[in-house]
Structure 1
Amino acid sequence: MGVRRRVSRFGLLATAVGLLTVHAALYAQREFRVYQSFEFEADLTELPHDYDLPAEFVVGRLMYPSGWGFGSFRAADWRQGGTSWAVDYPRGDRTLARMLRRLTRIDVRSVEQPVNPDDGDDIFHWPFLMAGLAGYWDLTDEQVTKLREYLLRGGFLFCDSFFGSDSWVGFEAGMRRIFPDRPIIDLSDDHPIFNIVYDLSQVTKAQIPNIYALYGRGVGYLSDGATPHWRGIEDDAGRLMVLIAFNNDVADSWQWQDDPRYPLESANLGVQLGVNIAVYAMTH
């Protein structure tokens, strides 16, 4: 899968990002493995030649049990993939990894890492996690406790690809269990995560669309999710622990980066956001 040529102008920042520390230990980690995607289009059959090489940054994908009457489109057992956590996976994850390699000096692994919070302390080896369709998670008490500890110890969680008021109810219910006393705040355009590499001065007014909504309904959103919201949760020091792209589908902009049907402006914005998010997570 090639990169859309019109994104290449952002390669000018390839020398702008340096890293001072390595955030994850390279031992005692779960092995790399591949699960079935939630979407047929996101399945990949071939692995990059260097998939087994360790790196400083890995795109972690949070595995979780589904609830709220949704999430078992291709499989019933979330631990085997094919449920809501695997939306845009693995194609979107690997596109992000490739973009980070191309546009930054971050040492990025070419493949993602599915992270099951029930696998002992494995989650603490992966300081960056994505949660797709998080409006449909149904976390156990043990998983709630593990995620709270993970985030307070420096982990970062990016919640994406969910639309509409019903999805928000499910997401907020889960997040309130993780952090019952921490507010979910609306992020302004001048938040550091939106300008740490690329200056995305109008990002909170933008909606990164879902491709199925675009070509099924002619709009970029699902359900009643017409208004994008960029939200977050901070720790006591003001570090953003959780980034919430509600009524947005950033991972679709990665997954469909090469598809001419996907809007170029949204594809490029998604790449820039991905760079900013990864660099913020690694440097905070």
Structure 2
Amino acid sequence: MKKILFLFLLISFSSFSQEIALLKYNGGGDWYANPTSLPNLIRFCNANINTRIKDKPATVEPGSPDLLSYPFVHMTGHGNVVFSDNDIENLRNYMYGGGFLHIDDNYGMDQYIRKEIKKIFPNNNLTEIPANHPIFQKPYPFPNGLPKIHEHDGTRAQAFGIFVEGKLVLLYTYESDLGDGWEDEEVHNDTANARDKALKMGANIINYIFTN
């Protein structure tokens, strides 16, 4: 079954020519929190790392069969997240079949999303990703690991992952707010340096997906 899904994903990815998506989930959390972040990340990647991602990201629900059409799905928000049994099965099949889910805590999601991740992967623990992992190495080096874009409560930025057969399939970025750093400059008034770091880290994530 996994091999069939993987082959289906390969066909889908080539057919849809590097289209990525935002996850529209249930539970009351603001899945739509950063409307300019993915479009800005797409423009940065297409201009700087030779991707050909469609300018406008799609929106996909976790239980939809369309999920399998996207090599990269991004999830963000501040609040509650609830996955149905169908969502859980579909997300698990998606990642076991070669898909990649990036969850970016926009501050306030952590207590909810960890429970839902455990439902998807009951036998896998979130593992902190070391700074020497390839996702922090290229095309832009981050020798100290995940950059911190927004300060909330003084804790360090951390990147956690779920690995399937040695490959990272779920990335959870915590206490960083990458997505805020991808937004239009006037939204958060971040410094040019902070926005540059956020976009470069985002480009590393996209590069990892399309080259591994």
TM-score (norm 1): 0.66
AA partner of residue 87 (structure 1): A
Whether 1:168 aligns to 2:110 is: yes
Whether 1:61 aligns to 2:22 is: yes
Shift of 1:207: 1.2
Shift of 1:203: 3.0
Alignment match, 1:77: none
Shift of 1:23: 5.8
Pick from 110, 115, 118 the counterpart of residue 55 of structure 2.
110
1:174-210 deviation per Cα after TM superposition (whole angstroms, max 9, x unaligned): 0000001011111111110011211111233x3111x
Deviates most, 140-149 or 130-139: 130-139
How many Å separate the matches in 1 of 2:34 and 2:81? 16
Contact 2:78 2:107 in 1 (8 A): no
Pick from 25, 28, 34 the counterpart of residue 88 of structure 1.
34
Shift of 1:160: 0.4
Please, which runs of 5 or more residues in structure 2 have no aligned partner? 1-9
Q: What secondary structure is seen at the aligned counterpart in 1 of 2:116?
A: helix
Identity of aligned residues (%): 23
Q: Which has the higher helix share?
A: 2
Larger of the two Rg values belongs to structure: 1
Contact 1:228 1:246 in 2 (8 A): yes
Shift of 1:58: 2.0
RMSD: 2.1
Shift of 1:59: 2.5
State the structure with bigger RCO (CA 8 A, min sep 6), 1 or 2: 2
TM-score (norm 2): 0.87
Q: Which has the higher strand share?
A: 2
Contact 2:12 2:68 in 1 (8 A): no
Shift of 1:163: 2.7
Contact 1:23 1:282 in 2 (8 A): no
Whether 1:141 aligns to 2:85 is: yes
Alignment match, 1:31: none
Pick from 242, 250, 256 the counterpart of residue 170 of structure 2.
242
1:46-70 deviation per Cα after TM superposition (whole angstroms, max 9, x unaligned): xxxxxxxxx6222310111025xxx
Pick from 195, 208, 213 the counterpart of residue 149 of structure 2.
208
Contact 1:231 1:244 in 2 (8 A): yes
Contact 2:23 2:31 in 1 (8 A): yes
Please, which runs of 5 or more residues in structure 1 have no aligned partner? 1-20, 27-54, 72-83, 210-219
